[in-house]
Amino acid sequence: MLTQPSFDLIARPYRWLEYLTLGRALEHCRLHFLPNLLQQRRALILGDGDGRFLAELLTQNPHLHADAVDTSATMLQLLRQRCEALAPNVSKRFTTHQTSALTCPTDGPYDLVVTHFFLDCLTQPDLETLIHHIAPNLSSEALWLISDFHIPSGLMRLPAKILVRSLYLAFRILTNLRTTKLPNHATPLKQAGLTRIARQHLLAGLLVTELWQFHSAAR
Ligand SMILES: C[S@@+](CC[C@H](N)C(=O)[O-])C[C@H]1O[C@@H](n2cnc3c(N)ncnc32)[C@H](O)[C@@H]1O
């Protein structure tokens, strides 16, 4: 049997590896739609890694409470340290769960789900399982913020394919991640009753961040 991927080993250097390879581009991508999230109250943050996004979200939106789910104990430890350092009472506003997002306990309804550079860790069947697991816990008009790598058309197509392949290979070596290609999240999200309401490409189309909205009547 194959062992599950583990991000524990790369959790501490993760931030620096990211800055070394792509500079601040991923950070810009994660934060692009943050101003649209200031009315949300109950968030489910999946695979946030070392918690840089959650810390920023808790800072910018002081009314928000969050459940943060990650399989990596070390990533969650970094996330807790980072968020608890914001202010003495911030620890009351989030709960961490070390478990798979595909089967995590849910305490919805959530009006926000965040998956930054997480869906691209999943195979297509696992992504569909995740969406079926999460969608029933969304409140009406809930937002789902997604950032992922993307293969653009045109001149950047080949370089993007090479980069994404190289990243998957690096993650395979460092974390035992078995995924080899970017899954398609659009079709299963639409089937679950979500509509894409905003989209931004960064780094010549290599990165994409999208805001989806749930409409309960559409399910
Ligand atoms: C590529 S990192 C992305 C981290 C961060 N969201 C970012 O924007 O850079 C993927 C994260 O998802 C976590 N992860 C991988 N598979 C998971 C799963 N099935 N359930 C929950 N977390 C998972 C990893 O431990 C890691 O923290």
Domain CATH for 144: 3.40.50.150
Model confidence pLDDT, tens digit, residues 22-49: 999 999 999 999 999 999 999 999 999 9
In a domain, 2, yes or no: no
Cα 79 to ligand 1 centre (Å): 12
> Which pLDDT score is estimated for 203?
95
The range of the structural domain enclosing residue 60 comes to 8-218
In a domain, 67, yes or no: yes
> Which pLDDT score is estimated for 2?
54
> Is the beta carbon of 118 within 6 A of some atom in ligand 1?
yes
List, in order, residues 6 or more apart from 15 with CB less than 8 Å away: 50, 52
Model confidence pLDDT, tens digit, residues 149-180: 999 999 999 999 999 999 999 999 999 999 99
Helix (H) / strand (E) containing 128: helix 124-134
In a domain, 69, yes or no: yes
Count how many domains the chain has.
Answer: 1
> Is the beta carbon of 116 within 6 A of some atom in ligand 1?
yes
In a domain, 3, yes or no: no
Confidence check: pLDDT of 1 > 90:
no
In a domain, 141, yes or no: yes
> Is the beta carbon of 51 within 6 A of some atom in ligand 1?
no
Query: What mean pLDDT is predicted for residues 56-79?
Result: 98
Quickly count: other Cβ atoms within 10 Å of residue 219's Cβ: 12
> Is the beta carbon of 69 within 6 A of some atom in ligand 1?
yes
What is the percent of the chain where pLDDT is above 90?
Answer: 95
- Residue 210 to residue 189: CA distance in whole angstroms: 12
Closest protein CA for atom 14 of ligand 1:
47
- Residue 35 to residue 110: CA distance in whole angstroms: 18
In a domain, 1, yes or no: no
